[in-house]
Chains A and B, each alone.
Chain A
Amino acid sequence: MLSLLLLIPFGGALLLALWPGNPTKGRMRTVTLVVLGLQLAWSLVVLARFDPGNSAMQLQESLRWVDSLGLQYKLGVDGLSLPLVLINGSLTLVSAICTRDIDKRPRVYFALLMVISGAVNGAFLAQNLLLFFLFYELELIPLWCLIAVWGGANRDYAATKFLIFTAVSGFLILGAFLGLALLTGTADFSLTPITSERLSMGAQLLLLGALLVGFGIKVPLFPFHNWLPDAHTQASTPVSVLLAGVLLKLGTYGLLRFCLGMFPEAWAQLAPGLAIWAAISVLFGSLAAIAQKDMKRMVAYSSVGHMGYILLAAAAATPVAILGAVFQMVSHGLISALLFLLVGIVYRKTGTRDLTVLHGLLNPERGLPFTGSLMILGVMASAGMPGMAGFISEFMVFRGSISAYPLATLLSMVGSGLTAVYFLLLVNRAFFGRLAVTPITDPVVHGRLDVNLAAVAPRETIPAMALAVGVVAIGLLPAGLGRLSEASTTAMTQLPALAAALKSGGLG
């Protein structure tokens, strides 16, 4: 059943690659939309079959592959991975929908999009460390291509930087997995929690450290964030949507699944430091966002800040915090995808994302009023306004973490306040005031400019509207997602206690 979540996108990519003749761009897009729609529908079937009350891996499938290497094709889903699979299905579809003005090699573009979606599904579902690594690396090259071929003017620099950072990330993760096998003396790479309890604390800390840096690059956390703003700035809008909404979640998923899940004892030791790291990341991301003049870079830095909440929650490792981390992954996926979509619309219509140049885009007649309204909704959600997804996730993360790490949580709350600061700066500069898309040199001349932006067609805002509905729906009705993940996340929080109990001679 879960294999179909891989077969559909990979099969779709193959179908598109082998499609006979020279199909039109529109037809290729339609094929992609059908395939990705099918994938999302199948994700919903998986959701329907999923038992939320069961914290164990469900719907497992396995197949022996390369036994001698310990590589086994083994898939499974739980309350942590299922929401991410759903987000992947939704946002890849959104990316394909909002790909309209692709100028070269559409066949390769859409095929790569589907390969990424399949690889991400594989990474979230893999129950074998090597299989996870395989999928983790598999999405890397297509994404590099998407930035390097279809990116902005400085795309080579951004794509190479992305490749180097994530290659190092992959290297560290593989090193940690191999190290674990070497030190435990088994070549079984099955994903079984607390396999590390046979190791010395020093070895655990070493392996955990490698994983932390590896996933910290992918998340990204300060100071490994450097690749993200460049990648976003040069990537096209659909790629940014995928990058922020889905691919960063591989990092946070890795933190929870592999770092916390496999090294709970060492994790508990490092947790106070991790909480401070999270707070630093949150504050750095927020302060850096305030300083940005490019709308897309501002949203990218806000991702750095908001991903820090997940590390904070993971450090606290209380049931509420971990559930909050899942909420944060989902809500950040939706909100950042929404913001990137809207920035994309602004860029398409005005030719710039420069906050020193854009003004008054909310103008009801000549501006982009509906885009602006959705942007205000998006930034409010991001800043954690009640009634929207951001509030639920941030509140749960803070509520779950404050008793464990009050200082780090309070500092992260400051970061949440700073989100309001930079996003209000963005909205105030770009959307309020007199409409303009040129620098203000002379206020008198500026006040007389006749600005003729093309109107935004309703169909252009449909993906953004769908995401906005999702953001509000989760904000108003969070119980569904909560029920889906609660059993699994609560079970994860038992791991440190379980590890300690095992260490001290058993549970009996």
Chain B
Amino acid sequence: MPIISAELVHAGSMPSAEELQSKLLAGDSLLAESADHLIEVVDVLKSYGEVLDAYSTNLIFQAEQQFLLPFPLFKYLDGENSPAKIWRHLNHDRINFEYAEYCMKAVLWHGTGGLDAYLDSEAFAAGCAAIIRRKTRRDPLLGLLHPLFTGFLIELIRTAATTHALGQFWRVMSDLFLDLARAESDGRVASIEAVVEFIKDGLVVAAANPITYGVEVAGEHLWVLPPEAGLTFLVDVAVPYVEAVFLRGLPFLGTVSFNAQAQQISPDQAQFAYGALYADPLPSMGAGIPPSLLMQDMYRHLPERLHSWYRERTRGEGDVRVKICMSFQKSMFCVTNAAIRGTFPHPLSSTDPAKQAANRAYAAAWSGRLAVARTDCLDTSS
């Protein structure tokens, strides 16, 4: 007779929007404080940092070296087109750069924030015209394509700009997460609260970093995102990225609801809730699109401490990607927590009722959205 463990099915509790709001306003971390959580978050962010390093390098390479190439066959090879690397690529001994592209497409498609506004501006159109003029002069295929499909090359340049901006964003985040892992091993970070604070500080330091992007065409340097556009790290790239990838996402298999014909997907993009914070860590017959691609990449760089922690739990290696995704979701709640903490309109210590009300409204807006996310991973009840 089968003997079924009581732990067969576990339902984590979901804190209400009010609870989340009060935690945000009190400056508490959303993820429960525990030694296990610290290992999960720090180590998963360390592997994520290494993956982001590869993503960032590749996205910047694509935007700079594969710019307006009609057939970018070697775009994932970072310019190293050796037979050995091509073989490793074909043998799938590689990072899934497709995941980075999915994220870029999500940012481009949802189109929020200053970057998107600039991509639709007159100045950007003028810059594109100059680039296309020079490029089509030397490339007959582009010269044929552009008059036939006048929006095509412009859209490709928008894609390249988003790709480069995301590459720059992940450069900062990669360094930040690897620094966090070092800080934890040095003993400077020893709690979830300290993790959130560390990430918040990193975001604040990088907040005003300029986001620029230029390309070389026929030996001439041309700006796609010029310094005078005034785009900065936090407001124009980080916030739209969080909006597009953490919150909205794309309705792929593996999220709670994905049936467009049954009207389960809102026609309003702003209502989307398919992002990383909402994704189901269990792959549900999905086709290998995120989050499973990212989990494969993080598995390649998993620190031994976390790896052995996973081996001792549930199916060991058998379901390690699900466990990585669960830990990743916890760490993403910490990053979101840090981003919210760093972007409150006024200091939380403020005693001015108007400022307090503004902070409350800001926290309420966030907690309303987070209340339907996978907050069951926060372990607030235990």
Seen from chain A, the residues whose Cβ lies within 8 Å of a Cβ on chain B are 101, 103, 152, 347-351, 360, 362-366, 432-438, 443-445, 447-455
Does B376 have its Cβ within 8 Å of any Cβ on chain A?
Answer: yes
B284–A365 CB distance below 8 A: no
A452–B314 CB distance below 8 A: yes
> Once bound together, how far apart are the Cα atoms of A103 and B1, in whole Å?
8
B9–A449 CB distance below 8 A: yes
Chain A residues with Cβ under 8 A from B10's Cβ? 449-452
A347–B282 CB distance below 8 A: no
Beyond A449-B10, A453-B8, is A434–B284 a contact (Cβ under 8 Å)?
yes
B321–A363 CB distance below 8 A: no
**CB pairs A–B below 8 angstroms (20 shown):** A103-B1, A348-B2, A350-B4, A360-B285, A363-B284, A365-B315, A366-B282, A366-B315, A435-B282, A448-B12, A448-B376, A449-B10, A450-B10, A451-B10, A451-B282, A452-B5, A452-B8, A452-B9, A452-B315, A453-B8
Query: How far is the CB of B212 from the nearest CB of chain A, in Å?
Result: 42
A364–B280 CB distance below 8 A: no
Chain B residues with Cβ under 8 A from A437's Cβ? 8-9
How would you classify the secondary structure of chain B's contact residues: helix, strand, loop or mixed? loop
> Once bound together, how far apart are the Cα atoms of A436 and B9, in whole Å?
8
Chain A residues with Cβ under 8 A from B8's Cβ? 350-351, 437, 451-453
> Once bound together, how far apart are the Cα atoms of A362 and B7, in whole Å?
20
- Which of A152, A366, A434, A455 lies in contact with B322, CB distance below 8 A? A366
Given contacts A365-B321, A451-B282, 20 further A-B contacts (CB under 8 A): A101-B1, A347-B2, A351-B2, A351-B4, A363-B282, A365-B282, A365-B315, A365-B319, A366-B282, A366-B319, A366-B322, A433-B285, A435-B284, A436-B9, A437-B9, A445-B11, A449-B9, A450-B9, A451-B9, A452-B5
Does B256 have its Cβ within 8 Å of any Cβ on chain A?
Answer: yes
Chain A residues with Cβ under 8 A from B1's Cβ? 101, 103, 152
Chain A residues with Cβ under 8 A from B282's Cβ? 360, 363, 365-366, 434-435, 451
> Once bound together, how far apart are the Cα atoms of A366 and B283, in whole Å?
9
> Once bound together, how far apart are the Cα atoms of A436 and B8, in whole Å?
10
Does B318 have its Cβ within 8 Å of any Cβ on chain A?
Answer: yes
Q: Which residues of B in the span 1-46 have a Cβ within 8 Å of any Cβ on A?
A: 1-2, 4-5, 7-12, 14
> Once bound together, how far apart are the Cα atoms of A347 and B3, in whole Å?
10
Chain B residues with Cβ under 8 A from A364's Cβ? 283
Question: What 0/1 pattern do residues 316 to 346 of B give for CB contact below 8 A with A?
Answer: 0011011000100000000000000000000
B318–A455 CB distance below 8 A: yes
- Which of A347, A448, A452 lies in contact with B11, CB distance below 8 A? A448
Chain B residues with Cβ under 8 A from A444's Cβ? 256, 372
Question: What 0/1 pattern do residues 282 to 298 of B give for CB contact below 8 A with A?
Answer: 11110000000000000
Query: How far is the CB of A150 from the nearest CB of chain B, in Å?
Result: 9
A360–B284 CB distance below 8 A: yes
B9–A432 CB distance below 8 A: no
Q: Which residue of A lies closest to B376 (CB)?
A: A448
Does B200 have its Cβ within 8 Å of any Cβ on chain A?
Answer: no
A450–B256 CB distance below 8 A: no
Beyond A365-B321, A444-B256, A448-B12, is A433–B284 a contact (Cβ under 8 Å)?
yes
Chain A residues with Cβ under 8 A from B326's Cβ? 450
Does B164 have its Cβ within 8 Å of any Cβ on chain A?
Answer: no
Chain B residues with Cβ under 8 A from A443's Cβ? 256
Does B374 have its Cβ within 8 Å of any Cβ on chain A?
Answer: yes
Chain A residues with Cβ under 8 A from B319's Cβ? 365-366
| Shortest Cβ-Cβ A-B pairs, 4 listed | A351-B4, A365-B319, A447-B256, A450-B10
Chain A residues with Cβ under 8 A from B321's Cβ? 365
Q: Which residue of A lies closest to B280 (CB)?
A: A447
Chain B residues with Cβ under 8 A from A436's Cβ? 9
> Once bound together, how far apart are the Cα atoms of A351 and B333, in whole Å?
35
Chain B residues with Cβ under 8 A from A438's Cβ? 9
A448–B283 CB distance below 8 A: no
A455–B2 CB distance below 8 A: no
> Once bound together, how far apart are the Cα atoms of A438 and B314, in whole Å?
19
> Once bound together, how far apart are the Cα atoms of A247 and B376, in whole Å?
51
Question: What 0/1 pattern do residues 240 to 259 of B give for CB contact below 8 A with A?
Answer: 00000000000000001000
Query: How far is the CB of B94 from the nearest CB of chain A, in Å?
Result: 21
Chain B residues with Cβ under 8 A from A450's Cβ? 9-12, 326, 376
Chain B residues with Cβ under 8 A from A347's Cβ? 2
Query: How far is the CB of A331 from the nearest CB of chain B, in Å?
Result: 29
Question: What 0/1 pattern do residues 343 to 382 of B give for CB contact below 8 A with A?
Answer: 0000000000000000000000000000010101000000
> Once bound together, how far apart are the Cα atoms of A360 and B254, in whole Å?
12
Query: How far is the CB of B252 from the nearest CB of chain A, in Å?
Result: 14
Query: How far is the CB of B310 from the nearest CB of chain A, in Å?
Result: 12
Chain A residues with Cβ under 8 A from B284's Cβ? 360, 363, 433-435
- Which of A348, A360, A365, A434 lies in contact with B318, CB distance below 8 A? A365
Query: How far is the CB of B271 from the nearest CB of chain A, in Å?
Result: 16
Q: Which residue of A lies closest to B322 (CB)?
A: A365
Query: How far is the CB of B299 from the nearest CB of chain A, in Å?
Result: 12
